Amino acid sequence: MNEALFKEWLKSGNVTISTLLLQTYKQLGLTNDDLVFLIQLKSFADQGEGFSNIHIIAERMRISKEDAFKQVHHLINKNVLTIETKTGDDGKSKDEFSFELLWEKVLLCLKQNEREQEKENTEIQSKELYQLFETEFGRPLSPIEIQTLNMWIDDDQYKPELIQMALREAVLSQVYSLKYIDRILLSWEKKNIRSKDQVEKESQSHRQKKTDFQDQSQNNQSVKPVPMYDWLKEFKD
């Protein structure tokens, strides 16, 4: 590469474009031409020129100046570009292109995608949960039982993993009843237990108390059996 050309290349600088914009611009309803035009505007902003030279952009994109200005208005109407008036250090007012609305829309897309992904994951976990219940119960679930499971997930906002833990506790107690499982879930809710890790931590704490009790009983030469942790104790008291 020619040295003068290389220096000119370095002098021209770079344009910083978020990968998130490249991932979501179609979701925002932007076309390829819209994206390229925004990148052109951003190139001026990255060089400290808040108000891009539309005439130069028109030449770069091989479009007329009229079409270039139409593209600016198009992006403004799309609510991804605004023109703001700011006062400089010299006290003079100047117009600048702002991309704030664009970044806000990108973030909204990300949140929407996350919600959709969570919903999809929940649906998959729900189907797996139904199959697990049917396997443990040894029979298909009735429509009312399926409705109860849906209410636990949709209305009570119980995580599928928490319901699975409650099922495990019921199976260990050899009680195959959704009513019993519902009371376990309610007891956990009262104790602010909302995840699998919290259930295991609570169970571990009980096992440690059980071990300490047995050690103490052995020291007293009088060992008494300690029952399995009764999650529903408060309902019986």
What pLDDT score does 211 carry? 66
Tens digits of pLDDT across the chain (237 residues): 566 665 565 566 678 888 999 999 999 999 999 999 999 999 988 888 768 789 999 999 999 999 999 999 999 999 999 998 877 677 778 888 999 999 999 999 999 999 999 888 878 888 899 999 999 999 999 999 999 999 998 899 898 889 999 999 999 889 999 999 999 999 999 989 988 888 888 878 766 766 655 566 666 655 455 455 666 665 555
Q: State the pTM of this model.
A: 0.58
DSSP state of 98: E
Instruction: Please report which residue ranges of the chain form alpha helices under DSSP H.
Output: 3-12, 19-24, 32-46, 54-61, 65-77, 100-137, 143-154, 160-172, 178-190, 196-219, 233-236
Tell me which residue of 174, 178, 202 sits closest to 188, measured CA to CA.
Answer: 202
User: Buried b / exposed e across 98-133, counting CB within 10 Å, b at 16+?
Assistant: ebeebeebbeebeeeeeeeeeeeeeeebbeebbeeb
Burial classification of residue 80, based on how many CB atoms lie within 10 Å of its CB (0-12 exposed, 13-18 middle, 19 or more buried): buried
Encoding tokens for residue 95? 């117009």
What pLDDT score does 103 carry? 94
